[in-house]
Chains A and B, each alone.
Chain A
């Protein structure tokens, strides 16, 4: 087998293994719930029978491996279980909703926000990072460096509130609350989502720019770049012909890492702007200890994260000349 294919398959297998372990961890979160959580969820007044029935519904009477298999099977078919909230003892009626119904519309919103931030920030950050690396030590480099260092030091909510203060409170360009719903028209949606997206962009650009700069500087320090210089190859040709073919792996890694970072940043930003996304749902669920919802959200975030890293690794593998041209 060609080493590239072998390595990619190996990496895929590792990805699946990771996913398995991660799912196991997320699944077992329900195991660690304190014994009285039934009362906590159903209310103090819940009858012992109700609590027992609830435990049974969760399958806590079955052996763990069987519940895991059931859970995985359900997740695969899109059944993420029912949320805990709405199971209040008042009236006894179960008004809990399937987790999937809670998540699906919000996932679309989160993806909309994240892709809006990513589409603009990735090219911009790469441009800034590469130019800063090439003009290393210049005023431009120092300025960009100081600015981005400051930005990455700011908590996301600080950036968000500064933007709100300027663009919403004073300039009134954008609303401070991004309360969209499925009927919102695309351009209105863009307008409403502008501030959260800009917040994310600022943070991502700062991180990505610094990492790109570091990766390019590292690359430009390779002896073969000096060799090209000593061969009289022009600066632009050195970059295009000598640096770029070897830059894919580091650059893709930087992008993947930062898109993964987006996953985290989105949680805080959604809460600040009361944006109806998965992040906010997860935070609410954590506060109410609504474990099925937390599990589902964690699974979605982890999956995105793992897939992004997997993707970056595969790009690194298929652009590695040592693997492409085996001995």
Chain B
């Protein structure tokens, strides 16, 4: 046994230790192992971002610029024709990226701000606050969110701000639930108790102890919630109670040009005009879902 003692030193203790990698290495390893669906998703998302950011540079015409020919066919001048008021469809598609995605991202961020903070706070406190919030969320979730949104919009009217606030609040209930659930797994950890015993305040525990450890599921959830919000806003705009004209937005563009579909037999390009913004919505959601799927698969350590 003396042999064991001599050869032992705390610093030299070996075990199955995880190798340290930098963020860039991890990123590269991640990308290398990413399936084609995820790579496709990432490429699509980047392209959309470029279009959204550089919309004024890329669009041939202005967002609300009206030309004297409505429902113009596809041509060199108007690549995808014009809409019912004579606005260039291509330009509106490009500006639509900015408006539709921008509003959806803003809404999702707001929903995470509200739901995330309350969720972590509820998980830490586990007292009346937790009960009150959880019960309120149960009730809010007892009404389908599209229906609730329709009702609220009928009360407050449709404006971009109202839309963002209403959808964010409704969606924050889901964010609250998941944040609370994943935080509860972290809150029971001894290091959170250690921080409480040290005398740390709620804010410090939320930011430093819990948040870093719940980031992976929250990032994935952000992707999923973004898709949901994006589709909800598109649906509302399609129904005519979402983003209001003249702001270019994909949901309303579908509604405005939907009538063209009847002319499919005579001019297929005409019928495709309303399909373009719809496809733009679908493509982005598919892309985000692909990336989230891969991310979830990676972080949950699922094997199959």
A and B form one complex = yes
Once the chains bind, are A301 and B147 in contact (CB under 8 Å)?
yes
Give min CB distance, A31 to chain B, whole Å.
9
For B281, list chain A residues within 8 Å (CB): 154-155, 158
Q: Any chain A CB within 8 A of the CB of B11?
A: no
A51 proximal to B (CB < 8 A): no
CB < 8 Å neighbour of B275 from A161, A261, A285: A161
Instruction: Tell which of B113-121, B188-196, B284-292 binds the partner.
Output: B284-292
Stretch at the interface among A1-9, A22-30, A85-93: A22-30
Residues of B near A53 (CB, < 8 A) are none
Query: Contacting B278 at CB < 8 Å: which of A26, A155, A282, A294?
Result: A155
User: What's the nearest-Cβ distance from chain B to residue A52, in Å?
Assistant: 22
Q: How far is the CA of A297 from the CA of B149 in the complex (A)?
A: 13
Of all chain A residues, the one with the shortest Cβ separation from B231 is: A155
Query: B271 interface residue, CB < 8 Å from A?
Result: yes
Q: Does B43 reach chain A (CB closer than 8 Å)? A: no
The reply to whether A157 and B282 form a contact with Cβ atoms under 8 Å apart is no
- Which of A150, A153, A157, A297 is the one whose CB lies under 8 Å from B235? A157
| Interface: A306 (CB within 8 A) | yes
Q: Is the CB of B142 within 8 A of A18?
A: yes
A161: which of B150, B157, B278, B286 is its contact (CB, 8 Å)? B278
Contact yes or no, A22 B143, CB < 8 A? yes
| Neighbouring A residues of B150 by C-beta, 8 Å | 267, 282-283, 286, 294, 298
Pick from B139, B240, B264, B289: contact of A152, CB below 8 A: B289
Give chain B residues whose Cβ lies under 8 Å from the Cβ of A272.
258
Q: Are B151 and A26 in contact (CB under 8 A)?
A: yes
A25, A158, A297: the one contacting B282 at CB < 8 Å is A158
Beta-carbon contact of B147 and A153 below 8 Å: no
A178 at interface, CB cutoff 8 A = no
Inter-subunit contact A165/B275 (CB<8 Å): yes
| Nearest CB of chain A from residue B97's CB, rounded to whole Å | 15
The A-contacting residues of B in range 143-163, CB under 8 angstroms, are 143-148, 150-157
Contact A18 B138 (CB under 8 A): yes
B282 closest partner in A (C-beta): A154
B245 to chain A, nearest CB (A): 13
B52 at the interface (CB under 8 A from A): no
Contact partners of A301 in chain B: CB under 8 A: 143-144, 147
A146-B37, A286-B241, A309-B142 as given contacts; A291 in contact with B154, CB under 8 Å: yes
Cβ of A169 within 8 Å of any chain B Cβ, yes or no, is yes
Q: Which residues of B contact A282 (CB under 8 A)?
A: 147, 150
> Once the chains are docked, how many angstroms separate the CA of A157 from the CA of B138?
29
Distance to closest chain A CB from B15 (angstroms): 27
Q: How far is the CA of A282 from the CA of B153 in the complex (A)?
A: 12
Nearest neighbor of B280 in chain A, beta-carbon distance: A158
**Given A263-B147, A285-B154, A149-B261 contact (CB < 8 Å):** no
**Chain B residues whose C-beta falls within 8 Å of the C-beta of A254 in the assembled complex:** none
A169-B261, A283-B240 known; A162-B138 Cβ under 8 A: no
Evaluate contact between B151 and A294: CB separation under 8 angstroms.
yes
Smallest beta-carbon distance A183→chain B, Å: 26
Q: Are B154 and A294 in contact (CB under 8 A)?
A: yes
B275 touches A170 (CB 8 A): no
- C-alpha gap A264/B150 in the complex (Å): 11
Q: Which of B97-130 contact A (CB under 8 A)?
A: none
Bound complex: CA A180 to CA B152 (Å) = 30
Could you tell me if B139 and A161 are in contact, using CB atoms closer than 8 angstroms?
A: no
* Measured CA separation A327–B275 after assembly (Å): 60
A169 in complex: contacting residue of B234, B254, B264, CB < 8 Å: B264
1/0 contact trace for B78-99 toward A, CB 8 Å? 0000000000000000000000
A260 at the interface (CB under 8 A from B): yes
Q: How far is the CA of A276 from the CA of B262 in the complex (A)?
A: 20
- Tell me the chain A residues, 225-244 only, with Cβ under 8 Å from chain B: none
Chain A min CB distance to B52 (Å):
18
Asked if A47 is an interface residue, CB under 8 A from chain B, the answer is no
Residues from chain B with Cβ under 8 Å of A165 in the complex: 261, 264, 271, 275
Judging by beta carbons under 8 Å apart, are B261 and A161 in contact? yes
- CB-based closest 4 A-B pairs: A169-B264, A153-B285, A158-B278, A153-B286
Residues of A bordering B, CB below 8 Å: 18-19, 21-22, 25-26, 29, 32-33, 136-137, 146, 149-150, 152-158, 161-162, 164-165, 169-170, 176, 260-261, 263-264, 267-268, 271-272, 282-283, 285-287, 289-291, 294-295, 297-298, 301-302, 305-306, 309
Q: A272-B258, A301-B143, A302-B142 given. 19 additional CB < 8 A pairs? A: A21-B142, A32-B155, A137-B304, A153-B282, A155-B278, A157-B278, A158-B275, A158-B279, A161-B274, A164-B261, A170-B265, A261-B144, A286-B150, A286-B241, A287-B241, A289-B157, A290-B154, A298-B151, A305-B144
Residue pairs across A and B with Cβ atoms less than 8 A apart, 6 shown, are A18-B142, A149-B286, A153-B285, A155-B235, A287-B240, A305-B142
